[in-house]
Amino acid sequence: MKLIINGEAKEFEENSTLQTIITNLKIEDKVMAAAVNMEIVKKDEWNTYVVKEDDKLELLQFVGGG
């Protein structure tokens, strides 16, 4: 299935969870927040939240600076 992740098209298996996608992208230690179609998904729901074809995901990292 096709997903748009941070503006980039990517392919994943059908019925993938948000956590599976984050793990497959090898960014699980970097992602602090996730939104699907502009709606925040709480971190404790990532294991059960199943994404759908053409969903738009924003995987956000917090960056310190000064």
**3-state SS track over 6-55:** CCEEEECCCCCEHHHHHHHCCCCCCCCEEEECCEEECHHHCCCCECCCCC
Domain spanning 2-60: which superfamily?
Beta-grasp domain (3.10.20.30)
Full-model pTM: 0.87
Encode the chain (66 residues) as per-residue pLDDT tens digits: 999 999 999 999 999 999 999 999 999 899 999 999 999 999 999 999 999 999 999 999 877 776
Sign (positive/negative) of CA torsion 4, 32, 47, 23?
positive
